[in-house]
A and B are shown apart, each in its own frame.
Chain A
Amino acid sequence: MAVQNSHLQTLEDESIYILREVAAQFQNPALLFSGGKDSITMAHLAKKAFYPAKIPFTFLHVDTGHNFPETIEFRDAYIKKLGVKLEVRYVQDAIDQNKVKEESGKYASRNSLQTVTLLDAIEELGFDACLGGARRDEEKSRAKERIFSVRDDFGQWDAKKQRPELFQILNGKIEFGENVRAFPISNWTEEDIWSYILQENLELPSIYFAHKRRLVKRDGAFLALSDYLNLVDTDEIIEDVVRFRTVGDMTCTAALPSTANTVKLVLDENKASKHSERGARIDDQRSESALEQRKKDGYF
């Protein structure tokens, strides 16, 4: 075993504690799994928390239909190896049922449409807790999120009604119909995640590493060329060697010109770049409070 970094050890122990509390305090908890690095880390921690027993969570993926095919392929292979149950619910179904309306125009994205599908899935499958891989360092309104965040019947988040969280004591008491979003890796930073992936030798979808790809150059950013993207006249199609820093939808996740093709190189390059991780998320740049508004509506 590699020599462990002491702060990573602390973070790991803390996350395992939280995952075990979720398993104990709730009847039917789900782990939200997107196939991204944060949910992969969370799944790995869940394996460690309960070994040799099985992971006591159902995995849930809200599939927008606009994911990178590499991520979906990875997701399925990973789930098979882990031996857990995966439920997938599709945003396309909500669109077909006229529950949500597909956005139009140049910046059309299915990102905010996920909320309806997520809330429907929680109700359909009866989850009383959902584990999310959100981190407080990602965005300003995330910085105020509790480890256990209570949502009402409508999945809504009220910043002013959050329970105070003291020490390591987690109060998961809820009424029937309410549910809790639990964030076991709240205190990890992006750098911690990559350092841990390196230490634990975790596998990731290939799009996290440098590869050659056809791209759309728009507003100074590079988007993956795909059928889901509404092209406009000013878009320029190019080919370059890039990697992705997050795995959101193909329509709103910008690529980074990079030759980093190993975990170590990605870690070094991120450290040197000083750009924020969500800087490449077009959906968050819509306004200063874009993510907070989505969270109030029930987004995870």
Chain B
Amino acid sequence: MDLLRISTAGSVDDGKSTLIGRLLYDTDALTKEQEALIEKKTAEKGLADLDFSVITDGLIAEREQGITIDVAHIYFSTNKRKFIIADSPGHVEYTRNMVTGASNAEVSIILIDARKGLLEQSYRHFFISQLLRLHTVVFCINKMDLVDYSEDVFLKIAADIQRMTASFEHSNPNIEIIPISSLKGDNVVNHSSNTAWYQGETLNSVLHQIESEQDIVTAFRMDVQNVLHVQNNEFVDYRGYSGRVASGTITLGDEVMVYPSQKNAIVTEIRKDINLLENAATGDSVSISLDREIDISRGSIITKNNEAIPITEKSIKAKLVWLEEDQAAIGSKFLLQAGSKTVQVRLEQIHAIIPPENPSNLQEASSLKLNDIAITSLKLASPIFLDHYAVNKNNGAFILINPRTNNTCAVGFVE
């Protein structure tokens, strides 16, 4: 059984919570307590259809306001696959949560209200899934019951979606478009006779058919998290560099290049707990030992000698998404963190702000404010050895930390 991480996005009242509730209900993934709660709330509100929103709208404030205000994680599994859904809110002011939810996802589900069609926010949602380079985007045209399950309405919105996706030159994700009603259950898990004109798959079967992301990056990258040093009877002088492989593979005997010290060494041991391994690949948490003592500590990155080298410059160009209320002026200083690597940076230049609803209409700006997406240049106190995000997602993204508040104030993608 494998694991698929999904992010959902939609505007207020597009019915995301209802969709997730429906998905869980129709795949028989809800507990008896949850089913009882749905029935109780439905009766209290005097609704004709089941009220699924009580399952995902977790916090008191949300229940009071009837909206979702933070990323919630929902877990469910079928016989074939395990799913983690990051349910992100869709208000303009909560873009940061959407980026957050999508950052660990492979697939994005975007909800569109059939009565309203594409809204400014739909463009924003799609733009964010492209910014993060998610390989599959599923558009659910929801509330089809409220437009009499009209094929014409569906086709018009589908054409609009195709126009929007075609305007992004640099991405080639899988796009799926499905007419659904979460409230009534059409085409979520079960094929609907109300949309006999629709020959495609249900949402549930699309989610089961998506291929989990293949590791297309070959260059090996591993940040050192801790140096494990042991001297006892069993381990005379053990030195292991622990970390999680960000990309590529490493095999015993490989020659590595460690940054920032730029020293070479040979891999003599790859260990996971008591097990000694021949090799390790993307995602593995291991400890690596080397044949000689070199300058290596937390924040070092291990790469392979005969492979592409990371960026060694002290200046990088990056797209930033601003995540906090405090604005950032040119010249402001931050702490950049990527994996276990950290470095002081200065915001050197803001080349342009990208309006996500119309990405080609670049704007000028002298500072960054909440929810801005910008192309910037950063000056680093010392090189940090990242890769281009388009080449290596796992070593191409970073966060900025505001030294005045310790808050995570931006996420960055190396251009």
Contacts and interface: CB of A to CB of B under 8 A. Distances in A.
A164 B323 contact: yes
A5 B60 CA distance: 37
A137 interface: yes
24 contacts: A7-B3, A20-B226, A20-B242, A20-B243, A23-B225, A49-B285, A53-B238, A53-B240, A137-B73, A140-B72, A141-B58, A162-B70, A163-B408, A164-B99, A166-B399, A167-B103, A171-B399, A171-B407, A173-B406, A187-B73, A187-B84, A275-B33, A276-B31, A276-B33
A160 B69 contact: yes
Interface string A1-33: 100011100111110110011011000000000
Contacts of B275: 1
B337 A169 contact: yes
A293 B335 CA distance: 34
A107 interface: no
B262 interface: no
Contact of B285 (A20, A144, A175): A20
Contacts of B168: none
Nearest to B96: A164
Interface residues on B, range: 35 or more
Interface string A160-187: 1011111111010111000000000011
Nearest to A159: B59
Interface of A: 1, 5-7, 10-14, 16-17, 20-21, 23-24, 47-53, 136-137, 140-141, 143-144, 159-160, 162-169, 171, 173-175, 186-187, 189, 191, 274-276, 279, 288-289, 292-293
Residue among B33, B58, B235, B323 with the highest chain A CB neighbour number at 10 A: B58
Contacts of A159: 59, 61, 69-70
Nearest to A175: B406
B63 A288 contact: yes
Interface in B324-372: 335, 337-340
A187 B58 CA distance: 17
A17 B30 CA distance: 30
A155 B103 CA distance: 28
Residue among A6, A53, A136 with the highest chain B CB neighbour number at 10 A: A53
Contacts of B398: 169
Contacts of A141: 58-59
Contacts of A6: 1-3
B169 interface: no
Nearest to A273: B32
Contacts of B74: 143
B146 to A, nearest CB: 28
Given A11-B3, A53-B238, A187-B73, 9 more contacts: A6-B3, A13-B283, A21-B225, A23-B226, A136-B75, A140-B57, A143-B74, A275-B31, A292-B58
A276 B3 contact: no
B195 interface: no
A283 to B, nearest CB: 15
Interface string B264-280: 00000001111100000
Contacts of B178: none
Interface in B19-66: 30-34, 55-61, 63
Contacts of B401: 171, 173
Nearest to B3: A7
B298 A140 contact: no
Contact of B32 (A52, A164, A274): A274
Nearest to B341: A169
Contacts of A274: 30-32
Contacts of B60: 289, 292-293
A141 B55 CA distance: 11
Contacts of B243: 20
A24 B242 CA distance: 11
Contacts of A21: 225, 340
Nearest to A139: B58
Contacts of B238: 52-53
Residue among A17, A137, A164 with the highest chain B CB neighbour number at 10 A: A164
